Structure 1
């Protein structure tokens, strides 16, 4: 019965998303201010999820600090970014890989929403982005980062890259662990069609750095990853090398 429902649901949900995404992107792009664009994006994501019958529940929003912080979240599917956008207050700026900037229409939408792109292939560009992000934190602006840097078809939380935690330690701002549950089934695993799933976003308690050096950042990373493991309910994966690089 579940497979039959998936077979019926998948093409209908995909069609609905294909019809909704272009006008949503245009609505965001033409917004006159960043505040309006972000609020439009948050509302439209919830509207899209409702149109495809996907419940979206957010818990722990009161754990978010009033000022600067870095939310680190698990990454399991193509929809994680937009789902987290709908969950977090509009003051949060998202950090994503620079390849997303070139996506037709969607890339322009992301840019207009104030997304910060990071180039992991170019050390100098990465350093400039890190300085810009630290400047935002110093100006009391919070960030949202998928600390795994990517996602795999198989379930499991990948190692966290250290860059977000180095910034948190150097700027002395808290890291807030968060987890998205249900998105892997909805649109993960490299699939072209969605499957129905509930979506839950849970935000944990802030974690504070104990110093400003790399050792403090590594401690903070370990604590944040343990917290995200518990919140996400996914197994641990340690099969990706080079996790300690600062990017």
Structure 2
């Protein structure tokens, strides 16, 4: 056997897995689960189906999926913040969190064909980060929702990049938590960047782990909550720190609009 044979076999197996996982993902997500979400009555039932569908897809794709620390989620309203490395993260968090959590998503996603309709049917929230006025109106509505007892899930980086690394956290989630007086729960996702993250266009096998941390103490400032949540996630995510040196942009005005 030539020295190149093991690498050739590995490459072939990798492409076979890509083909298999792509077919399974597309059939499970776009043909079975999403159409049902569009027609089922009731937001809770739709979210339950979404979570069940993600877990089924992971199983069929041969992806070990583990959630630890679910007991750390408070019974009352809270804000979950997590890292973000892949378009799969929203699906993974749908399966990891109870149905009472509403996800906060960039407004542009609402315009995506098919996926946007599905997310609207699941009752998720959309925030416009390109318009200060629209964003302020939407986030004030989020604040009212939290004060009324709803829980939110937010990707604190706001986006992800092709290169591995934890980006600086946006301030909005922590301003919401500080103003509403609810706990922030740091959650760490690992494995989705390898599975289908960054600039990757094909599936590569990886296990996926979600670690739900203990709630941060209520009463801290938005900046304290942000820094404490990021430190916990950075310690567990296995990716480098891409935070820029501290600057005036890192300061949080406690009287600022939650946008």
Q: Following TM superposition, by how much is the alpha carbon of 1:244 offset from its aligned partner in structure 2, in angstroms?
A: 5.8
For residue 24 of structure 1, give the secondary structure of its aligned residue in structure 2: helix
Q: Following TM superposition, by how much is the alpha carbon of 1:55 offset from its aligned partner in structure 2, in angstroms?
A: 1.4
**Correspondences of 1:18-37 after superposition (within 5 Å):** 18-22=26-30, 23-37=32-46
Q: Which residue of 2 aligns with 1:123?
A: 132
Using the size of structure 2 for normalisation, the TM-score is: 0.89
Q: Following TM superposition, by how much is the alpha carbon of 1:189 offset from its aligned partner in structure 2, in angstroms?
A: 2.1
**C-alpha separation between the residues in 2 aligned to 1:189 and 1:83?**
16
Q: Which residue of 2 aligns with 1:110?
A: 119
**Correspondences of 1:31-70 after superposition (within 5 Å):** 31-70=40-79
Using the size of structure 1 for normalisation, the TM-score is: 0.93
Q: Following TM superposition, by how much is the alpha carbon of 1:155 offset from its aligned partner in structure 2, in angstroms?
A: 1.0
The count of corresponding residues between Structure 1 and Structure 2 is: 243
For residue 125 of structure 1, give the secondary structure of its aligned residue in structure 2: helix
Q: Following TM superposition, by how much is the alpha carbon of 1:239 offset from its aligned partner in structure 2, in angstroms?
A: 4.5
Q: Which residue of 1 aligns with 2:148?
A: 139
Q: Which residue of 2 aligns with 1:6?
A: 14
**C-alpha separation between the residues in 2 aligned to 1:37 and 1:80?**
18
For residue 161 of structure 1, give the secondary structure of its aligned residue in structure 2: coil
Flag as ranges the 4+ runs of structure 1 deviating above 2 A: 1-5, 208-211, 239-247
For residue 15 of structure 1, give the secondary structure of its aligned residue in structure 2: helix
**Residue ranges of structure 1 left out of the alignment (5+ in a row):** none
Cα contact 2:186–2:212 (8 A) shared by 1: yes
**C-alpha separation between the residues in 1 aligned to 2:35 and 2:244?**
40
After superposition, the C-alpha distances for 1:113-170 in whole angstroms (9 at most, x for unaligned) are 1110010011111011111111111011110000000001111110000111001001
Q: Which residue of 2 aligns with 1:230?
A: 235
**C-alpha separation between the residues in 2 aligned to 1:104 and 1:64?**
33
For residue 201 of structure 1, give the secondary structure of its aligned residue in structure 2: strand
Cα contact 1:93–1:114 (8 A) shared by 2: yes
**C-alpha separation between the residues in 1 aligned to 2:12 and 2:184?**
42
Q: Following TM superposition, by how much is the alpha carbon of 1:70 offset from its aligned partner in structure 2, in angstroms?
A: 0.4
**C-alpha separation between the residues in 2 aligned to 1:3 and 1:188?**
19
